[in-house]
Amino acid sequence: MARLRLPKVLITPIHLSRRLMLYLRLLLLVLVIVPVIVSSGRWLHVSRVDLTTDHLYTLTPGTLKIVDTLRHPLNLTLYFSSHATRDLPQLRSYEQRVREVLQEMAVRSHGRIHLQVIDPVPYSDDESNAEAGGLTAASGGSNGERVFFGLVGNTLPADAEGRAARERMPEKTLSIPFFDPAREAFLEYDIAKLLYELNQSSKPLVGVISSLPVDGNPLLGVPPWTVMQQLNQLFDVKMLDQNKLQFISDRIKVLLLIHPQELSVSAQYAIDQYVLGGGHLVVFVDPDAELETPAVPAVGPESSGVSSNLPRLFAAWGVRFDPNKVVLDRSRALPIELAGSSFNHPAMLALGSQQLNHDDVVTASLQRINVATIGYFDLAPNATTRLIPLLQSSAQAEAVSTQRVLRDSNNPSQLLQGYKPDNVHYVLAARLRGPFTSAFPERASQPGHLTHSGSSAEVILIADTDLLNDRLWVEPQNILGQTMMRVFANNGDFVNNLVDNLSGSSALLSIRGRSTSQRPFTRVQALRNVADQKFLQKERELEKELADTRRRLQELQPAKGSQAGLITAEQRHEIEQFRQRQMAINKALRDVQHQLNAEIDALGFRLKVINIVLVPGLVTLIGLLYGWRRTRRNRRYR
């Protein structure tokens, strides 16, 4: 009876019920958790933290505003020739940077941006689509293949939103032909600009006020200046009559004021209120508009008829401009032909890359801008505005009177007599950033009068009108019976970039240049600088000795044939000595180059040892010590 199994029979149902309940709970947990995990990608927000030093992956507020205000879905296609660039690591690295920025924008758009990446292999439909989208292929790929690296964006047709949406936003395609690594600082701006333009349903309206015949004369068969022809292709350009100007509509995204002469008070007030209301103004003034005769002659005893100025508005904005001063720069003098002779004209300048602001999106990609008899800007002592240069002179520049330039116009070499550089980088064109105050405080009682602008207000100032003229940057050529324009300077690109930049929204204008993802090896650069200083002197000495040796050999060689090809044993010995010395100098120069790289190679080896051997070894040692101490402690408490 001691082995009665009744208790075991009574316990079994309890265990079965507990096990069943456990299984049911697990099944219920699976039924709840799995759908949550599957659907979490749609409604859960993923936290993203940018830990880079310069916040490379954090979009600026301007870009976020553009992405958040997209009205219709956009399709972005990044074409990158991955196979053709397998031997171009720098370009592949930059492609990753571009793709990450695009992905960040796509994530932010919440489905309004559809991004795809395509490798357009040769002779494929993808390659044809890339070319049709406006992309430019570069040469130099593996096995001579063409390299595509650009972005094509287009608006998607309306679907569930109906036909009305398609009518408001017609389907269109825009592109970035090629992502140049040199423009990495403006990568976010370029992409945001593409998104902004795709989101617009019409061309921006640009107004032009000019006392010069920039729009040509249809009655006389005179075509518009080339710069105006280019603007008409990209924008909706409207000429405004300065004599009837009373008000400037805010529909005008950019206003070009070219060579303002004898502007009425009403026209100046309209410009003043346009700027204070957030309008974008580009002012072209000139101490000597030498290439064209003004369409509206200046009047008054103090007017020369060739200069222009905005004294009242400039004074209100804290700007100083003297129409009686012209900037000469002998280091940037432009070669010209005059009366059959060639001159380097110090008043006509070829501004190169060193005179352009490469931190500004407008001038970052430009190489040369030609100007003539240009003036300069400065800030008044009490100015509250900021002057950010776009074009500057070199330190070899000198400011002289306009009358002197006019007097010596037929003999430019006279301008170099008594030339004394001012050692000043004169500001020839600049962004003037507000806030601005009204130049007409007496009209404060009028309805709708604005007294101050916002803090982000901006005006572009350019102290030359001649740069707009064809003569300084294009020339016609007859090719196969058609007249084509050969461009030899970036004047047209400069104006197009200005209008393009200002015609965007305030969000687009707020996007500035960013730092690049390429981080320099500062330690390596420091070693290289030290090595250069250490061995440069020796290298120069050896090169000088080598040049002397070669010259001496050349002097001895004629003597070799001076006596019917006979040379003495002493001459032969001297020639051989010089040849041996030349070989020794060449070897010494190679040794100098090897020494220049020795410390850098040593640094690289030390870094490899640290990363591959030392750090893993320390981690392993710490782990072993920790395990040994834990083992000893466990044994102690047993």
pLDDT in tens, 209-237: 999 999 988 778 888 999 999 999 889 99
Q: What is the largest CA-CA distance in the chain?
A: 142
Most confident range (mean pLDDT) of 152-166, 447-461, 482-496, 618-632 is: 447-461
End-to-end CA distance of the chain: 44
Q: Within this chain, do residues 111 and 229 fall inside the same structural domain, yes or no?
A: no
Q: Within this chain, do residues 503 and 531 fall inside the same structural domain, yes or no?
A: no
CA pair distance 149, 138, nearest whole angstrom:
8
How does DSSP classify residue 610?
I
Q: Specify the higher pLDDT residue, 184 or 479.
A: 184
pLDDT, tens digit (0-9, with 9 covering 90-100), for 428-444: 999 999 899 999 999 99
pLDDT, tens digit (0-9, with 9 covering 90-100), for 93-105: 999 999 999 999 9
CA pair distance 598, 169, nearest whole angstrom:
62
Single out the residue in 172, 198, 224 at which a domain terminates: 198
Unique residue bearing structure tokens 């064209």: 292
- Is 400 contained in some domain? no
Residue 23's pLDDT band (boundaries 50, 70, 90)?
confident
Unique residue bearing structure tokens 């800007």: 377
Q: What are phi and psi of 354, to 5 degrees?
A: -75, -20
Q: Within this chain, do residues 475 and 529 fall inside the same structural domain, yes or no?
A: no
pLDDT tops 50 at residue 300 = no
What is the mean pLDDT of the segment spanning 349-375?
92
Two tokens, residue 236: 């909706």
Q: Within this chain, do residues 174 and 290 fall inside the same structural domain, yes or no?
A: no
* DSSP bridge partners of 320: 378
Helices in 186-281 by DSSP H: which ranges? 187-198, 226-234, 265-276
pLDDT tops 50 at residue 59 = yes
Q: Within this chain, do residues 75 and 188 fall inside the same structural domain, yes or no?
A: yes
Q: Within this chain, do residues 383 and 488 fall inside the same structural domain, yes or no?
A: yes
Q: Within this chain, do residues 219 and 118 fall inside the same structural domain, yes or no?
A: no
How does DSSP classify residue 415?
G
pTM: 0.68
Listed residue (116, 127, 115, 119) closest to 80, CA to CA: 119
Kindly report the CATH number assigned to the domain that includes residue 124: 3.40.30.10
Most confident range (mean pLDDT) of 502-516, 533-547, 560-574, 616-630 is: 616-630
- Average model confidence (pLDDT) across the chain: 82
Using DSSP, state whether 437 is helix, strand or coil. Answer: strand
Residue 542, domain extent: 523-559+574-628
Total tally of structural domains belonging to the chain = 3
CA pair distance 528, 241, nearest whole angstrom:
61
**Please, are residues 433 and 379 in contact by the beta-carbon 8 Å criterion?**
no
Q: Within this chain, do residues 538 and 581 fall inside the same structural domain, yes or no?
A: yes
Using DSSP, state whether 319 is helix, strand or coil. Answer: strand
Two tokens, residue 427: 């500001």
Lowest mean pLDDT among 126-140, 165-179, 437-451, 563-577: 563-577
Q: Within this chain, do residues 99 and 187 fall inside the same structural domain, yes or no?
A: yes
Single out the residue in 198, 220, 237 at which a domain terminates: 198
